[in-house]
Chain A
Amino acid sequence: MSLGLDLLLAALMLGLAGWTVLGRDMFAAIAAFIAYGLLLGIVWVRVGALDVALTEAAVGGGVTGGLLIAAWARLRATAMVERKAGAGLAVLAALASLGVAVLLAAVVLHLPQPAPTLVPEAMANLAPTGLGNPVSATLMAWRALDTLLEKLVLLLALLGIWSVAPDAAWGARPAASVDRDGALTFLAQFLPPVGVVVGIYTVWTSADAPGGAFQGGTILAAMWLLAVRAGLADLPRVASRWLRLALVAGPAVFLAVGLAGFVLAGHFLAYPEAVAKPLIVLIEAPMILSIGVSLALMVAGPPVPKGDA
């Protein structure tokens, strides 16, 4: 029964992947890609990686899908959607993808049996972190540097998006396409209070159960964009001081706690055992704000000159 389900999932994934790559219509390819991300979430559930499944559904399906649709809408205005890549480029891309697939398959097939694992060590050292979820402990304690760099990459990506704005638009607001429809207004009034609670809960519960700042931040970003779309909230000017503060608050607090680790525990990003859990909560709280704001502004796109907003 479960083998049948896994085979069905694998076949669906391959079909959707093929549709994404071979589809003639760019919008259909994006829709297939979003479905692919959601299905990949189910695959992660099947292998027992619930934290990854949540991230995949939220970021791989949700945010990336939003980014792609926003990009498609922008390209459509310039008729770039019609332009197809040349045959040479297509062959090159196919060869590169094939190379990656073959390498991955080779690595997976040559894993030693049983596969090397750090799980017993992780479970044995879980108590000092004050967390119950080994995935969160890995992200926030043992490999905190990776997590810190991940958040910085998010800021760099947003700067990259802003940097394509024309000079005249610098400091202004991103374009918001507003749809003042009754049903949408209702949804945008009703859903955000629920979504904000669920988003914050997703971060809070990650101490002991699957969840995390990225997943929670994505939900907050979605609620904000929903309110913007319904015309109930405004996007901030990119020069706004409050916005800049919200963006750097997460990484700044993370960095400050990391530097304090030199004094308190002898290493960068080390936490004294007695206050490990409170310190992790202190890092996560501004982090969810920064992630939510960065993701929402990435989907909103670069600022536009005042008249066009």
Chain B
Amino acid sequence: MTLLRDLFSIVAICAGGFFFLAGTVGLLRFPDMLTRLHALTKADNLGLGLIVLGLLPRVGSVLGGVKLVAVWALALLASACVSQVAARMGRLRDEP
């Protein structure tokens, strides 16, 4: 059972790490701002989400798990709103 739990954690955290890596590569290599934002928000949403998912079986208490999920939800909210604002600012700058 512990082995299965550890395996789940390892797979989820590695997958999360992969999305962060892919998001960073996208941020550096994609041609314009909108596609870069797209790459960046994938890192936040999926990368952080998978890492939180992988950590959930390892927290000792329910409250600790709820805090982890809350961290992910807040990051999700902030990244979604901020990327909207950044995209609009960028468009205003490019097409005055």
Interface residues of A (CB under 8 A from B): 179, 181-184, 186-187, 190-191, 194
Give the tally of cross-chain contacts (CB within 8 A).
Answer: 23
Instruction: Report chain A residues within 8 Å CB of B11.
Output: none
B74 pairs with A183, CB closer than 8 A: no
* Bound Cα distance A169, B88 (Å): 32
What is the number of residues of chain B that contact chain A, defined by CB distance less than 8 Å? Answer: 9
Of all chain A residues, which has the CB nearest B70? A194
Query: Shortest beta-carbon distance, B90 to chain A, in Å?
Result: 12
Of B74, B78, B85, the residue contacting A179 (CB under 8 A) is B85
Instruction: Report chain A residues within 8 Å CB of B81.
Output: 183-184, 186-187
Query: Shortest beta-carbon distance, B37 to chain A, in Å?
Result: 12
Of B77, B80, B88, the residue contacting A181 (CB under 8 A) is B88
Query: Shortest beta-carbon distance, A45 to chain B, in Å?
Result: 15
Of all chain A residues, which has the CB nearest B88? A181
A183 pairs with B77, CB closer than 8 A: no
- Main SS at interface, chain A: helix
* Bound Cα distance A186, B85 (Å): 11
Instruction: Report chain B residues within 8 Å CB of A187.
Output: 77-78, 81-82
B74 pairs with A181, CB closer than 8 A: no
Interface residues of B (CB under 8 A from A): 74, 77-78, 80-82, 84-85, 88
Instruction: Report chain A residues within 8 Å CB of B84.
Output: 181-184
* Bound Cα distance A194, B77 (Å): 12
A–B complex contacts, Cβ < 8 Å, 23 sampled = A179-B85, A181-B84, A181-B85, A181-B88, A182-B84, A183-B80, A183-B81, A183-B84, A183-B85, A183-B88, A184-B81, A184-B84, A184-B85, A186-B81, A187-B77, A187-B78, A187-B81, A187-B82, A190-B77, A191-B74, A191-B77, A191-B78, A194-B74
Instruction: Report chain B residues within 8 Å CB of A179.
Output: 85
Instruction: Report chain A residues within 8 Å CB of B74.
Output: 191, 194
* Bound Cα distance A186, B80 (Å): 11
* Bound Cα distance A190, B84 (Å): 16
Instruction: Report chain B residues within 8 Å CB of A191.
Output: 74, 77-78
Query: Shortest beta-carbon distance, B55 to chain A, in Å?
Result: 15
Instruction: Report chain A residues within 8 Å CB of B78.
Output: 187, 191
Query: Shortest beta-carbon distance, B23 to chain A, in Å?
Result: 15
Instruction: Report chain B residues within 8 Å CB of A186.
Output: 81
* Bound Cα distance A183, B84 (Å): 6
Of all chain A residues, which has the CB nearest B84? A183
* Bound Cα distance A187, B77 (Å): 8
Query: Shortest beta-carbon distance, A154 to chain B, in Å?
Result: 26
Instruction: Report chain A residues within 8 Å CB of B88.
Output: 181, 183
Query: Shortest beta-carbon distance, B45 to chain A, in Å?
Result: 15
Of all chain A residues, which has the CB nearest B86? A183
* Bound Cα distance A191, B78 (Å): 9
Query: Shortest beta-carbon distance, B35 to chain A, in Å?
Result: 19
* Bound Cα distance A179, B89 (Å): 10
* Bound Cα distance A186, B77 (Å): 10
